[in-house]
Amino acid sequence: MKAATYIENGPPSVLKYVDLPDPEIGPTDVLIRVEVISIEGGDVLGRRLVPVDGDRRIPGYSGAGTVIAIGHDVTAAKVGQSVAAFNWSGSHAELWSVPEVYVFPTPDGLTSAVAATVPVAFGTADDALFEFGNLHAGDTVLVRGATGGVGIAAVQLARAAGATVIATASSDSHASRLKELGAHHVINYTQLSVGAATLAITDGKGVDLLVELAGGTQFDEVIDAVRYRGRITIVGAASGHPRSISFQDIGRKLLTVAGVSLGQEMHQPRIHNMIRQHLNHARDGILHMPIARTFPLSDATAAHHYVETDHPFGRVLMLP
């Protein structure tokens, strides 16, 4: 099979398009012929930071395709079935071995291009808002870093739940697109202080929930825009500059802070039920994930470079 791999951490140029043996599957694994790869934020960070285990690493943890073989203990997946999938690595390839617990059947009428973008983005957003963020109708939520896949998903899910949605973006054009997807207010963080603008929007009260996807220098001031006894869910730091919350920050406002890492719970039945619903809603046009660009897998270096440098709105796909 063909695959994009790297043997050492570094910039997109470390990725090489090579021939490799087809992956083997264990008794509870499913072999997928990959049709679409969704590049996730963790793919980029992993390529730079996660040590290579063995002689090389195939990155990528989100994709969709067709099941072509199953292990003898697999009970639900079937050969010929269209699926979306997650795994900690391996999606940047023509063939992908995935444990059955990370495989999500796709409903009839949903394309692989859409299906590939749903489990990680909408699943992570759902957990950040509801499982760990305790969001309810009537709450106000600030989604920081709203133009990536998880942020775009969070805007739509929060709006559908009856919350007032404040989002951040780096340009007026991105702000317009976020409003089309459901954001009530969008703050251009290149022009305004996010903390001050959020307090102005909320009449000084602050938001009930901050979904933190960005990190960076404005994070410290944004904490002041979370209300007393408010909540913060930490998903990532798309800026490349993670920040810390001090004991004083938490204690003085009695904040509840939770980390979100969907992959650690993606095998659970509650996640499968949740993602099944999101896949159905994507098929029905209720949920949307903009596709910024599509690359062939052979141009994985260019695709990763585009994700890192152009800050695209939505997801970037690759086709084996």
Each residue of 134-160: pLDDT tens digit? 999 999 999 999 999 999 999 999 999
| Residue 154 near residue 130 (C-beta atoms within 8 A) | no
Residue 241 pLDDT: 59
Tell me the CA distances in angstroms from 141 to 111, 157, 178, 223, one per residue in order.
31, 11, 14, 13
When the pLDDT of each residue in the chain is averaged and rounded to a whole number, the result is 94
DSSP string, 182-224: T-SEEEETTTS-HHHHHHHHTTTS-EEEEEE---STTHHHHHT
Strand pairing class (82-86; 62-70): antiparallel
- Cα separation, 257 vs 259, whole angstroms: 7
Please give the structure tokens belonging to residue 73: 């203990």
Give the β-pairing of 95-99 and 29-39. antiparallel
Task: Report the C-alpha gap between 254 and 227 in whole angstroms.
Answer: 9
Q: What is the pLDDT of residues 45-99, one digit of tens each?
A: 899 988 898 889 999 999 999 999 999 999 999 999 999 999 999 999 999 999 9
pLDDT 10s digits, 260-310: 999 999 999 999 999 999 999 999 999 999 999 999 999 999 999 999 998
- What are 231-254's pLDDT values in tens digits? 999 997 665 556 677 778 888 999
Q: Which of 230, 218, 287, 226 is closest to 254 using CA atoms?
A: 230
CA angle centred on 47, ends 43 and 51, rounded to 5°: 120
Structure-token pair, residue 236: 């990532």
Reading the block at residue 90, the tokens are 């391996």
What pLDDT score does 238 carry? 62
What confidence tens digit (pLDDT) does each residue in 100-123 have?
999 999 999 999 999 999 999 999
Percent of the chain with pLDDT over 90: 86
